[in-house]
Every structure is written in C-alpha cells, then in structure tokens.
C-alpha cells in the first residue's frame, strides 16, 4: 500500500512528504491502484489556491510504475495533493475543499441586468472586449435617484391638482397615505427578500419567482411586464397631452367639427402622435440603450427643477400671488380662450357695445335679449383670482371633496348666482367635467405615481453592496416622494382656487397647465420639465420591459415565450422590444391617460401583493435559508401590505382587478400544466411541505372512519431483465380504480446487494415513473433492493407510506406459468405475500389475466361487473365495483351481485335482505341468490385432486434428486462443508443462489455405486406415486372449487369483470402448492377475474 514518509533532500521544502510504494499485491505495475488514482479522478479535484500561473500538462500523467513522487512533482501537483485531506481524497470531486469553495464565492461577480454589457458590446464593435468592472454604484446613485426618477412622473404634473380639487385636501391625504403605505410595506418586504442572499439582475421577477416558485413567478413576472409596458404607454400619452394642450396646440391634426366633438378630436390626435412617439422611442431603444442612460440624469434634473419651481411659486404666492384671473358667470366657470374681456358689455368710443361673451350667449351684437341664454341674463359676470396665494385662507374651502359626474359644470360654492338651467347648447362655453369622479376612480388614477420602487432592486447587479443599498435607498426614496406628495397636496389646497384645481386641462386659466400657474419663475419651467421627464420615463419603461420579458423567456418556464429570449448579437432583446411596442400601442389606442392609469395600477398592485406574500410565507415557514440582513420586517406587516394591495385593486376598479387576476390565474395554470419543471427552493414548495406535515400529523391521530375509508394502493410490480414493467396493465387497473383520488404507491423489488445495484434501482424507478405518466397514475414510486424478493416485498408492505398516509390495500400480480416452472420461487413468493398482507391486516387484490383488462382508452358501452359474494370480508366486494364505475372505462357497465345459499338457507329472504342492504348502501345493482345443493363428490373432483397431489409429489422428488446431485458435486469440491448438509432440504435452499449446472466431477467406484442407488430409489419413489391416495381435506376443497367454478362460469361467463372472494392460504405451509391449484380451478374459464381479500375491517357503511 502507499504511505507518506517525510523527505529531506536538496530543493525540498521542510515538511514535504512523498509517497512510498510499500506493497499492493493485487495491483500490477502500470495499473491504477484504488488508493491513489492520479488519472482522471484526482484531475477533477478543485484547486485549493492558485499556486501556478498556468495548469501544467504533467498533471495526472504520473506513471504508476515509477514508485516515488519527488518533491518537485509534489509541488507541481500541489493543487491536487494535500497530505491533510487524505481521508477525503476520494470524495473531493463531489465535495470540494472549503478554501476552493470560498474562492469561487468571492470571485462570483453579479453582472448588471444588461445595460452595461450592451453598451460595451456596442462600443467595442466586436473587437477586443473591455474587462468588466466590478459593481461600484452606491446607495445614492444606484438606488435613491433611480427610484426618485421612476416614482415622480406624469401624474404629479398632470393630475395631482385635479385630484386635490375633486377629493379635497383631506381625502387626497388619505389617497396619498394609502398608496404610500402600500409601497412602503411592499418595500419592507422587498428589502427582506433582496437582502436574503444575492439577487441577480431581474429584480422583482427574480425575487418573486425564487421565493414563490415558477408558477407564481411567471404569472407575476408577466403582470409586472404588462404593468411596465402600459406605464410606457401612459408616459407617452402624458407627453402628448402636454405637447398638444400646453406647448403647441396648433400641431393638432384633428379639429372638432362641432362644439361637442372636442374630446373625440383630442383622442384621435393622441392616438396619431402617440403612435409616432412610440415608434421613435422604440427606435432609440433599439439603436442603443446607452443613449437612454446618458439622458437619464438630464430627465431627473428636469423633474427636480420642476418640483423646486412649485415650492418656489408657493412661497412667492404668500406675498405676491401670480395674476391668473378666472371669469365666472354666476357661480359657473367659463372657458377663458372663448372671449377676451370678462364682461357682458364693453365701452368702445363712449358707446356700450356687446362683448365677445355676449355674442357667445346671445348670438347677436345689438344687445337684444330675445335669443339670450336665461342663465346669462340673470347672473353677473365676475372675475376672481385663480391663485389667491397661501395666505388667502382658501385652504378651508378646499378641505372637502367635490366629486362631479361626467358633463357637469364646474361651480364655485357659495358664489352668488341665480339657479336656472340655461341652454344646453351653450354648455360648451363652461368648463365641464370630462369624466365621472369618485374616491375609487382617483385612487386608480393616482397609484401609478407611487410605483417605481423596484428601480433599485432591478439594478442590483450594479450595486457595490446591494444588501445594504436596496433597503436604505428605496425607503429613503419613498419617504422623500411621500413628503413631496403630502406637501404638494397641502400647497395646492392652500394656494389655488377650487374651480381651477378641478379644471383638468386649465381651460379657466387660458389653457395653462394648472400646476404651472403656481410655479415660479414661469409656467414654462414645469411645462418643458414635465414634457422631458415624461419622455424619459417612457424611454426607461420601453428599455426595462423587454429585458424583463427576456429574463422570463430565458428561464424557460413559459414555453411559447422562448422566441423572446433571443436578440441582437450583443444581447439586446429585439423580439421582446417589438412585442412591448405592440402592447404599448394598445394602451396608446385607448388614448386616455385616465383610462390607462388604472390598468397599470392593477398590474403593479398584483406584483406588490405577491412580493408581500413571498415575504410573509418565507417568514412564517421559518425556512432555514431565510436569513435576511434587513431585520426590520415582520409577517404581520407583509400581510397588512398584501391586504392594502388587494383593497386598492378592488377600490380603484373591481372589474380591472378581476381581469388582472384572471390573466395571472391563467398564466399560473398554464405554467403548472405546460411549463418546464423548475426547482428553485421556493416558498410555495416549503408551504406545501408544511401543509403536508400538518395534515400527516393530524391523520396520525387515529385510523380513518369507515365513511372515509378508501383503498390506498400499494401496487407490487414485477420487472423483467431489462428493468421494464412486465405487466403495465396493473398500473392501468390501479388508475381506473383510483380515478385520480387517494394514495397510490408503486413498489418493486430488485434482487441483489444495495451498494452494487443502486444504479439499477434508480433506473428502475425512472422506468416505473415514465410508465406511471403514460398510464396517468398519480402517486409515488418506491424500488427496494433486497437479497431475496420475498424479503423485499415484506419490507415494502411494512414500511411504505408515511404516518396516516399508508397503504391499506395491496395489488399483486398473478404468478403466470407457475405449473410449468420447476422453480417454486414464484408461487412461494406469491403465497408469502398473501400471508404478509393477511398478517398486516391489509386488503389484497389479485387481478388474474390482467393483460386482458381494458386500457384507459377503451370504453365498455354495455356489459356487467359481477360480484360473487361468498363470505363477508368487510364490504370490499361492494365498494370496488362502485369505484371502478367512477372511471369512464367502466361507467356504463351494470353491477350484479351473486351470493351463495346453502340448503338450510332461505334464499328468498336472503334476496330481499340483500336488496335492502344495497339500497341502504346507495349502490345500484341486480341481486341474485344462487343455491348450492349438497351433492356427492364427483369422480372428476377426486381425479383432479389425485392428479394435483401426484404432480406436487413428483415435483418434490425431482427437486430432491436434483438437489442431491448438486450437493454431491459441492461435497466433492469442498470436503469441509459437511455442516451445510443440515440445510439440504430447507426452504432457504429453494430460494438460495442456484448452483451452476455444468459441474466438473471426479468419479470413483464408490461414487458410481452411490449414484446408481440414488437413481434406483428415485425410480422407486416415482412408482409409489401411482399408488398414492388423496387427502380427504384436499378432496373437500377441490369439490368446493369445482362446484363454485361451475356456477360462476355458468352465470358470469360473459361478464366484463368477475369479483370473487379469495380464500386464504392454508396454515400448514406443506399445502401451498395445492392452494395454488385450488385458485386455478376456482377461476378456470373466466376471462377477467379480480380475487379480493379484505383486511379485516369494515370499509363500507349504511350510515350517513
């Protein structure tokens, strides 16, 4: 053997060791020894440290015939050779050294989510690639600012003033609080998940899918993708609204043909310009992401400057409010751009003439009142300040809500007016509400302005310390944006007149952006700033959404999305970008910002709901791997966040919520049935495990009640030499009997040594699982390796199942060809199994002629299932046909129950009682009572019994003579094994290893004489067989079998299936072979027979 000895030689380091060949008798020179295998095995061992700069060609090429390994070679092979780990050297290829594992983990770099590599790929143009830099972004640049940029968006500039006007300051506070609480709680959950290990690029999708499994991950990932895509559409619509309403209204293509067509013309303009913008943005994204990233800081600067200008304007309004007068007719607000002077008449050259306003309402210029609008005549025209300023006390008027229906005129409460309707044809001159508003509608429209909290986790690959930066940066961003929203709500309510706040498009203030009227130094600061920020946000959505889709496609959990995993040479998701643009176009065709916002609210809320669920599930399960660095989370907070998300979904739009849930549910079910199998160590698997454990512990409390009893099957399968299932119809029968319900365990035994045949057992298990899939058997598979098949089956019967989920019924195949076989092991194993099931109080089903049983594709449109109820065995015979009839193969078969009456039984009363019993059992079946007359034992029965006994005696003699010959050969071969004679005729020998048939023997005169004597005695014993008399007990049993068989064949020869009580094996094992013969006689002439033996307990009851 090899051992290590210290060497001290020039050039050797102190403490070096070398291998010395001591002795290895059975290893030839040049052959690998089992102890030290340099070739192949050690070559695969992981490196401990990088000792040499390049791998040496000499590794693993040491010849075994060179007995010594010198120190230079030892130092060369230092990666593979470690004197301290000799005990583990054979396992190092599958269990690496700790140092090598740590080295790999430290060198693990988490590349960015795609942007940087794409930029570099484009910059290098396929030439020499740059060395990828390690992630270097901090909390401020990597998380805080991106989150701020994503959260602040179009809603702040275009809809927040309108929301404050409609809902009032108090309800607006509530809306902002609800939405911000939702995102804050989600951020806490997200921080816990993001800091529980390394989150690669993919952000929220990766977190959810790895926490909740591929089904939830795919469904929520696609929801998040759709949300991001519709967000892109919303930002584009916002940009177009700013462009066409406030920057260049002259650019409109469609103009209203009449006074009431303004909204439809505007929608058409939005559709055309939105599509153009979408194409341009998609082209920019396609050409290069680097341009989007370069302009990101510019877009953020626009947002910050715009917000600062609002604060500056609010402060300035305290002492110097801006001049934005509003013209009121009575208490109604007028559209300012329809006239120049806010008065009914004007004095021109000392002459009072009709103003433009008079012309609009009276349709004349001569100041006659015949055609004038009644409301116009009775009410005065007044001018009020649009921006009274923070010191004006307008806040108390704006505290309460003022919701309007679609088409309602904006009125100022408590303003003097005469209440008459006026002409409807003049309503276009007033500022009208364009949609019906309510608290719920406003929640749906506002929620997108708090989304964007995932921006930090989405770029986790770029962060220096993602586990620290993501929670801190995201929470700070939410706190900042929430404070901005709360302060803006307060400032808008305190500075701006209520009717101006409710004026969505600034019609009352001469088509100015309402928030712009408050800003300082000019409304254009906000108009230009908001335009650029919305364009930037739209570009970022169109950049992020395709990458998310690409990540889902590359995970291969949704097969039909695989095409979107491909892209340009540098990895740009071209196909995903095309699909994103098409979906965004759907949003643009809706054309209304107020209609698109609730759609993306739904998808984002769905995503946030599942982030909270993921955190709650992981926390409650206490998974060993759940160790977040972020400690300030709790399952109750996650559940609260989840509840708020769910509430917000239904508050904002219950029908959109149902549609979003339906979409997510369909994706979930699709992935469940069609998707690739993925094991990501997710929480749902953990939840299933916990639920299963809880249920099993509950089941353990006691045996099931008779009402809950159902056959939990252990199907014992036989495999052939190639490990294929010998009788696959056993599985078919099991699937038909279970109809998809209850427990099914498929068991099989492989003969041999476990250490040697483990691979075979794995292969057999896989074969059985494939067959189970084909036959649609839902259950478990267990393959046992045992020295003897009978022992293996006994182990399966004893140990299969877990707790209360144990089998109560064994399905066993019939040993075909047992009569023709000289080897008795097959039928002995069969009878041994019958005895085992009886001892374990399990029911037993033996389908005979199982190859004639129907497949799952066949249908019996007619025919009978016949039950021969000879002895009561717990009611199994009644229950089994009922269960079989649940399956489509047997559904149309009728059930007939036959019972046997003896001479002293009242057969008429028996039939009535049986019919009543079946009625109470709620089982529909025909009832027949067959009378068995006491007849004499026929000559046929006697002869059949005699033949049976002669055959078994003859086979025993043949086996004995054969065994004696083999034993003689063994004795000649090994004279010292006299002790083995004791087990010469034991049962062990029948099942032991068979001795090779061709035996070399040395014959002597004594041996020859002994052999002649043996042959003579054998011939004598064969003569004795002729004069044998049959055992009376066997004759009686044979008589029963023959008579019953006659009756059964007579009545049930055309039945689709015959169910029959299986008689128990004899207590004396000497009669085992006769028992097999009785069963054969009993079932002779029947095509499909199911022998049933109960487990000793009632399985069916008449009580409810």
Which range among 101-105, 293-297, 1097-1101 shows the weakest confidence by mean pLDDT?
A: 101-105
Q: Where are the alpha helices (DSSP H) in 449-573?
A: 455-458, 466-495, 498-501, 514-518, 523-555
Is pLDDT at 1073 greater than 90 in this prediction? no
Q: Which residues contact 96 (CB under 8 A, 6 or more apart)?
A: 45, 46
Is pLDDT at 589 greater than 50 in this prediction? yes
Contact 923, 886 (CB under 8 A): no
Q: What is the pLDDT of residue 194?
A: 81
Contact 168, 399 (CB under 8 A): yes
Cβ neighbour number for residue 615 with a 10 Å cutoff:
32
Q: What is the pLDDT of residue 363?
A: 83
144, two tokens: 């805080």
928 SS3 class: strand
Q: How far apart are CA 358 and CA 752, in angstroms?
A: 108
pLDDT band at 496 (very low <50, low <70, confident <90, very high): very high
Q: What is the pLDDT of residue 71?
A: 41
Is pLDDT at 561 greater than 90 in this prediction? no
Is pLDDT at 292 greater than 50 in this prediction? yes
Q: How far apart are CA 607 and CA 231, in angstroms?
A: 14
pLDDT band at 52 (very low <50, low <70, confident <90, very high): very low
Q: Which residues contact 491 (CB under 8 A, 6 or more apart)?
A: 310, 311, 314, 390, 518
Is pLDDT at 276 greater than 50 in this prediction? yes
pLDDT band at 976 (very low <50, low <70, confident <90, very high): very low
Sign of the dihedral defined by the CA atoms of residues 1080, 1082, 1086, 1092, in that order? negative
625, two tokens: 């791997």
CA atoms within 13 A on the CB side of 150: 25
pLDDT in tens, 778-804: 889 999 999 988 889 998 888 888 877
Phi, psi of 584 (to 5 degrees): -60, -35
Q: What is the pLDDT of residue 112?
A: 35
pLDDT in tens, 500-521: 999 888 888 888 888 988 888 8
Q: Where are the alpha helices (DSSP H) in 653-701?
A: 654-674, 683-699
Q: What is the pLDDT of residue 185?
A: 94
Q: What is the pLDDT of residue 1026?
A: 52
Contact 448, 461 (CB under 8 A): no
531, two tokens: 């335009």
pLDDT in tens, 716-733: 988 888 888 888 888 888
Q: What is the pLDDT of residue 113?
A: 42
Which range among 13-17, 322-326, 339-343, 917-921 shows the weakest confidence by mean pLDDT?
A: 13-17
Q: What is the pLDDT of residue 647?
A: 93
| Residue 802 DSSP code | B
H, E, C per residue of 819-854:
CCCCCCHHHHHHHHHHHHHHHCCCEEEEEECHHHCC
Contact 609, 646 (CB under 8 A): yes
813, two tokens: 């195949």
Q: What is the pLDDT of residue 950?
A: 61
Looking at per-residue pLDDT, the higher value among 34 and 546 belongs to 546
Contact 442, 155 (CB under 8 A): no
Is pLDDT at 54 greater than 50 in this prediction? no
Q: What is the pLDDT of residue 11?
A: 44
Q: What is the mean pLDDT of residues 959-981?
A: 52
Is pLDDT at 875 greater than 70 in this prediction? yes
Q: What is the mean pLDDT of residues 842-868?
A: 87
pLDDT in tens, 389-412: 888 888 988 999 999 998 888 888
Q: How far apart are CA 509 and CA 386, in angstroms?
A: 7
Q: What is the pLDDT of residue 434?
A: 86
Is pLDDT at 1010 greater than 60 in this prediction? no
pLDDT band at 634 (very low <50, low <70, confident <90, very high): very high
Phi, psi of 281 (to 5 degrees): -65, -40
Q: How far apart are CA 1095 and CA 711, in angstroms?
A: 11
714, two tokens: 């252990």
- The proportion of the chain whose per-residue pLDDT surpasses 90, expressed as a percent, equals 14
- The proportion of the chain whose per-residue pLDDT surpasses 70, expressed as a percent, equals 72
Contact 1081, 1045 (CB under 8 A): yes
Distance of CA 576 to the CA centre of its chain: 23
Q: What is the pLDDT of residue 1066?
A: 75
333 SS3 class: strand
Contact 810, 746 (CB under 8 A): no
Q: How far apart are CA 766 and CA 369, in angstroms?
A: 96
Q: How far apart are CA 761 and CA 901, in angstroms?
A: 50
Is pLDDT at 985 greater than 50 in this prediction? no
- Residue 745 pairs in a beta bridge with 714, 780
552, two tokens: 């889902």
Which range among 643-647, 813-817, 859-863, 996-1000 shows the weakest confidence by mean pLDDT?
A: 996-1000
pLDDT band at 124 (very low <50, low <70, confident <90, very high): very low
Q: How far apart are CA 514 and CA 749, in angstroms?
A: 81
Contact 1052, 1086 (CB under 8 A): yes
Phi, psi of 1083 (to 5 degrees): -105, 10
pLDDT in tens, 876-887: 788 888 888 888
Q: What is the pLDDT of residue 259?
A: 56
Q: Which residues contact 708 (CB under 8 A, 6 or more apart)?
A: none
* CA distances for 1006 relative to 716, 960, 975, 1019, angstroms: 50, 21, 16, 20
Is pLDDT at 370 greater than 60 in this prediction? yes
Q: How far apart are CA 667 and CA 610, in angstroms?
A: 15
Q: Where are the alpha helices (DSSP H) in 739-788?
A: 754-774
Q: What is the pLDDT of residue 183?
A: 93
Looking at per-residue pLDDT, the higher value among 361 and 985 belongs to 361
Which range among 42-51, 317-326, 1003-1012 shows the weakest confidence by mean pLDDT?
A: 42-51
Q: What is the pLDDT of residue 966?
A: 59
Contact 230, 278 (CB under 8 A): no
Q: How far apart are CA 468 and CA 476, in angstroms?
A: 13
Is pLDDT at 12 greater than 70 in this prediction? no
Q: Specify burial of residue 1080 (Cβ count, 10 A radius: 0-12, 13-18, 19+).
A: middle
pLDDT band at 82 (very low <50, low <70, confident <90, very high): low
414 SS3 class: coil
829, two tokens: 């194993």
123, two tokens: 């910059």
Q: Specify burial of residue 762 (Cβ count, 10 A radius: 0-12, 13-18, 19+).
A: exposed
Looking at per-residue pLDDT, the higher value among 929 and 99 belongs to 929
Report CA dihedral (438, 440, 446, 450) to the nearest 10 degrees. Answer: 160
Identify the CA nearest to 662 among candidates 602, 702, 718: 602
Which range among 71-75, 172-176, 277-281, 883-887 shows the weakest confidence by mean pLDDT?
A: 71-75
Q: Which residues contact 695 (CB under 8 A, 6 or more apart)?
A: none
| Residue whose tokens read 């809809």 | 159
pLDDT band at 313 (very low <50, low <70, confident <90, very high): very high
End-to-end CA distance of the chain: 75
657 SS3 class: helix
Which range among 9-18, 78-87, 878-887 shows the weakest confidence by mean pLDDT?
A: 9-18
Is pLDDT at 936 greater than 60 in this prediction? no
Q: What is the pLDDT of residue 212?
A: 72
pLDDT band at 805 (very low <50, low <70, confident <90, very high): confident
Mean model confidence pLDDT for the chain: 77
Contact 682, 211 (CB under 8 A): yes
Which range among 31-35, 283-287, 702-706, 1027-1031 shows the weakest confidence by mean pLDDT?
A: 31-35
Contact 886, 736 (CB under 8 A): no
* CA distances for 483 relative to 165, 180, 250, angstroms: 19, 10, 38
> Whole-structure pTM over 0.85, yes or no?
no
75 SS3 class: helix
Which range among 316-320, 719-723, 1054-1058 shows the weakest confidence by mean pLDDT?
A: 719-723
Q: How far apart are CA 347 and CA 354, in angstroms?
A: 9
* CA distances for 995 relative to 241, 822, 829, 940, angstroms: 94, 15, 20, 40
Q: How far apart are CA 645 and CA 607, in angstroms?
A: 9
pLDDT in tens, 652-708: 888 889 988 888 888 888 887 776 566 666 666 777 777 777 777 777 666 666 666
pLDDT band at 312 (very low <50, low <70, confident <90, very high): very high
Q: How far apart are CA 980 and CA 986, in angstroms?
A: 11
Over the Cα atoms of the chain, what is R_g? 44
pLDDT band at 274 (very low <50, low <70, confident <90, very high): very high
pLDDT in tens, 815-853: 887 766 666 677 788 888 888 888 888 888 999 888 888
CA angle 582, 587, 588 (to 5 degrees): 90
Is pLDDT at 991 greater than 50 in this prediction? no
Is pLDDT at 57 greater than 70 in this prediction? no
Q: Which residues contact 1049 (CB under 8 A, 6 or more apart)?
A: 1084, 1085, 1086
Looking at per-residue pLDDT, the higher value among 93 and 151 belongs to 151
428 SS3 class: helix
Identify the CA nearest to 689 among candidates 622, 598, 616: 622
Q: What is the pLDDT of residue 75?
A: 41
Cβ neighbour number for residue 271 with a 10 Å cutoff:
19
CA angle 470, 471, 472 (to 5 degrees): 95
Characterize the bridge pairing of strands 864-869 and 894-901.
parallel
Is pLDDT at 599 greater than 80 in this prediction? yes
Q: How far apart are CA 481 and CA 475, in angstroms?
A: 10
Contact 930, 962 (CB under 8 A): no
pLDDT in tens, 245-269: 889 888 888 887 765 667 788 888 9
Characterize the bridge pairing of strands 744-751 and 351-354.
unpaired
């Amino acid at each position: 053997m090899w051992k290590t000895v210290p060497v001290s030689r020039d050039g050797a380091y102190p403490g070096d060791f070398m291998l010395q060949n001591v002795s290895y008798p059975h290893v030839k020179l040049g052959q690998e020894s089992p102890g030290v295998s340099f070739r192949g095995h050690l070559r695969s061992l992981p490196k401990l440290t990088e000792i040499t700069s390049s791998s040496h060609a000499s590794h693993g090429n040491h010849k075994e015939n060179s007995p010594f390994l010198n120190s230079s070679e030892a130092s060369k092979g230092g990666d593979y050779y470690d004197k301290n780990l000799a005990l583990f050297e054979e396992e190092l290829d599958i269990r690496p050294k700790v140092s090598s594992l740590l080295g790999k983990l430290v060198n693990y770099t988490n590349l960015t989510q795609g942007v940087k590599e794409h930029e570099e790929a484009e910059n290098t143009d396929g030439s020499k690639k740059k060395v990828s830099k390690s992630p270097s972004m901090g909390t401020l640049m990597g998380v805080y600012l991106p989150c701020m940029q994503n959260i602040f968006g179009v809603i702040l500039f275009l809809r927040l003033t309108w929301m404050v006007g409609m809902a009032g300051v108090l309800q607006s506070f509530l809306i902002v609080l609800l939405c911000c609480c939702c995102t804050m709680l989600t951020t806490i959950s997200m921080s816990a998940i993001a800091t529980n290990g390394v989150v690669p690029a993919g952000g929220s999708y990766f977190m959810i899918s790895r926490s909740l499994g591929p089904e939830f991950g795919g469904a929520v990932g696609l929801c998040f993708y759709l949300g991001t895509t519709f967000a892109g559409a919303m930002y584009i619509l916002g940009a177009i609204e700013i462009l066409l309403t406030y920057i260049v209204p002259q650019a409109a293509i469609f103009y209203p043909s009449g006074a009431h067509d303004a909204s439809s013309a505007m929608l058409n303009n939005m559709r055309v310009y939105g599509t153009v913008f979408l194409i341009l943005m998609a082209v920019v994204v396609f050409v290069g992401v680097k341009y989007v990233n370069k302009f990101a800081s510019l877009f953020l600067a626009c947002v910050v400057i715009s917000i600062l200008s609002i604060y500056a304007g609010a402060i300035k309004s305290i002492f110097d409010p801006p001049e934005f007068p509003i013209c009121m007719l009575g208490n109604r607000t007028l559209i300012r751009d329809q006239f120049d002077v806010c008065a009914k008449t004007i004095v021109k050259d000392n002459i009072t003439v009709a103003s433009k306003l008079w012309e609009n309402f009276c349709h004349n210029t001569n100041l006659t009142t015949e055609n004038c609008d009644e409301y116009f005549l009775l009410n005065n025209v007044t001018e009020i300040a649009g921006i009274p300023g923070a010191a004006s006390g307008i806040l108390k008027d704006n505290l309460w809500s003022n919701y309007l229906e679609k088409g309602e005129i904006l009125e100022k409460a408590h303003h003097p007016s005469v209440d008459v309707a006026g002409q409807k044809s003049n309503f276009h001159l007033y500022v009208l509400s364009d949609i019906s508003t309510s608290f719920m509608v406003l929640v749906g429209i506002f929620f997108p302005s708090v989304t964007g909290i995932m921006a930090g986790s989405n770029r986790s690959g770029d962060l220096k310390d993602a586990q620290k930066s993501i929670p801190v940066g995201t929470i700070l961003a939410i706190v900042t944006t929430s404070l901005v929203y709360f302060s803006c709500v307060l400032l808008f309510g305190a500075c701006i007149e209520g009717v101006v706040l409710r004026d969505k498009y600034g019609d009352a203030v001469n088509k100015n952006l309402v928030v712009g009227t408050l800003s300082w130094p000019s409304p254009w600061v906000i108009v230009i700033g908001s335009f650029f920020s919305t364009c930037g946000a739209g570009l970022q959505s169109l950049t992020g959404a395709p990458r998310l889709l690409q990540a889902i496609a590359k995970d291969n959990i949704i097969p039909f999305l695989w095409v979107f995993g491909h892209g340009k040479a540098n990895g740009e998701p071209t196909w995903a970008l095309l699909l994103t643009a098409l979906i965004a176009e759907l949003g643009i065709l809706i054309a209304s910002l107020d209609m698109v916002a609730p759609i993306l609210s739904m998808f984002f809320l769905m995503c946030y709901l599942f982030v909270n669920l993921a955190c709650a599930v992981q926390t409650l399960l206490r998974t060993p791997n759940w160790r977040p660095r972020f400690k300030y989370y709790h399952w109750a907070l996650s559940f609260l966040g989840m509840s708020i998300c769910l509430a917000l979904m239904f508050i904002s739009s219950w029908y959109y919520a149902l549609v979003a849930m339906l979409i997510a549910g369909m994706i979930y079910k699709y992935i469940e049935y069609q998707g690739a199998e993925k094991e990501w160590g997710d929480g749902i698997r953990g939840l299933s495990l916990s639920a299963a454990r809880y249920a099993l512990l509950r089941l353990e409390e006691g045996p099931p009640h008779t009402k809950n009893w159902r056959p939990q099957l252990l199907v014992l399968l036989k495999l052939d030499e190639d490990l294929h299932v010998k009788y696959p119809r056993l599985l078919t029968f099991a699937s038909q009997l279970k109809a998809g319900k209850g427990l099914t365990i498929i068991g099989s035994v492989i003969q041999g040594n476990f250490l040697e045949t483990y691979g075979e057992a794995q292969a057999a298990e896989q074969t059985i699982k494939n067959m189970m899939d084909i036959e649609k058997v839902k259950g478990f598979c267990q393959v046992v390796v045992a020295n003897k098949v009978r022992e293996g089956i006994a182990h399966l019967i004893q140990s299969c199942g877990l707790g209360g989920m144990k089998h109560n019924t064994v399905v066993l195949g019939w040993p075909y060809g047992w009569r023709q076989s000289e080897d008795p092991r097959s039928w002995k194993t069969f009878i041994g199994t019958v005895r085992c099931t009886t001892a374990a109080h399990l029911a037993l089903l033996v389908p005979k002629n199982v190859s004639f049983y129907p497949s799952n594709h066949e249908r019996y449109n007619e025919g009978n299932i016949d039950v021969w109820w000879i002895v009561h065995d717990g009611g199994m015979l009644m229950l089994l046909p009922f269960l079989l009839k649940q399956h489509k193969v047997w559904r149309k078969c009728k059930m007939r129950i036959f019972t046997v009456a003896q001479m002293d039984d009242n057969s008429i009363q028996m039939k009535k009682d049986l019919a009543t019993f079946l009625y109470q059992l709620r089982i529909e079946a025909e009832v027949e009572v067959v009378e068995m007359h006491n007849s004499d034992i026929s000559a046929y029965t006697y002869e059949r019994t005699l033949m049976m006994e002669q055959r078994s005696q003859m086979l025993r003699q043949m086996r004995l003579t054969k065994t004696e010959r083999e034993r003689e050969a063994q004795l000649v071969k090994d004279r010292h094994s006299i002790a083995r004679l004791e087990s010469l005729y034991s049962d062990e020998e029948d099942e032991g290893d068979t001795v090779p048939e061709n035996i070399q023997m040395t014959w002597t005169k004594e041996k020859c004489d002994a052999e002649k004597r043996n042959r003579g005695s054998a011939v004598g014993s064969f003569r004795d067989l002729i004069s044998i008399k049959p055992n009376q007990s066997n004759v009686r049993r044979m008589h029963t079998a023959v008579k019953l068989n006659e009756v059964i064949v007579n009545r049930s020869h055309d039945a689709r299936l015959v169910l029959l009580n299986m008689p128990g094996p004899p207590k004396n094992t000497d009669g085992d072979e006769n028992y097999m013969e009785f069963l054969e006689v009993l079932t002779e002439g029947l095509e499909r027979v199911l022998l049933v033996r109960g487990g000793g307990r009632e399985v069916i009851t008449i009580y409810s």
